[in-house]
Structure 1
Amino acid sequence: MYTWESISGPGTIDDLVADAHAAGYPDMTVRRIHDWIAKGLLDQPRLRTRRRGSDKAEHSADQRRLLLLLLDKRQQVAHLNALAQVPLTLWLWWDGYVPTRQAQRAWVTWVGRGRRWDRSGIRWRRRRRGPGSCSRRRCSPPAASSARWGRRGHR
């Protein structure tokens, strides 16, 4: 069995896919790794440039280990958003294991961009009470004084 202890150094995205396949996760693809990077589950790779052209970007050994941990925890959670708690926990407890930029993306993935608050909080209620939702009696402009008091000025 391939475990995270057997990872010794940095690797390219192809190495990450090979690590996942060796650990028994054949559904891991390059596209899924890019999606996980966008969601903050994995960090952006470090670019390696030369004089002419560039080599493939490198993921650190910590990120390679994190991928195997995420693959293991993915079986225990119902939604991918809950998986974002793993890099956040590593960022809080182990210094340098997860960079801050990755933790920020993972936070947005886990919490969302305020959607839950909008739907259940004050803003949602205010939007629901817009101009089209008022009844005629409650939202009509005030009547003229003659309509309120009658022609003679009293009730």
Structure 2
Amino acid sequence: MGAQARRERLAQLVAPILAEAGLDLEGLDITPVGKRRLVRVVVDSDDGVDLERIGEVSQKISTALDEVDVMGQSPYVLEVTSPGVDRPLTEPRHWRRARGRLVHAPLVAGGQVKGRVIDADETGVTFDVDGQSQVYAFSDLGRGKVQVEFRHDDAAD
């Protein structure tokens, strides 16, 4: 089985497990690591993901992998994780999950926007930029990036 076919079959295997847990599949990678393969499943949800949910989903995925031959005879290591803060915001759901966060995004027409995400829907995102609301369609934005803040005082906004 080729790498792409294996990845697609694995995605089909984990999709119902993640749906049952209320999680979205954000990424799926199979990487050779010595004589083993690392199977990394990246999950997220609008409510966030805690370690307990990741542990439960990891056990279910592991059981499902053991019941089918999608990984063949080669040993593998399963890693189920949530996306890091450095994940680019590319989908409407990513922008929704960034509500309240400081985000920097290039504008397709040139320039950039840096502001706090107030709201996001299926068509665009509303930023608070220096106390002013600015609305951008997703088609006007490049890949957004959440800015790491060590301290954010809601009262100061």
Q: Same fold (TM over 0.5)?
A: no
TM-score (norm. length: structure 1): 0.23
TM-score (norm. length: structure 2): 0.23
Max Rg structure: 1
| Greater fraction of residues in strand | 2
Which structure would you say has the larger RCO, counting Cα contacts within 8 Å and 6 or more residues apart?
Answer: 1
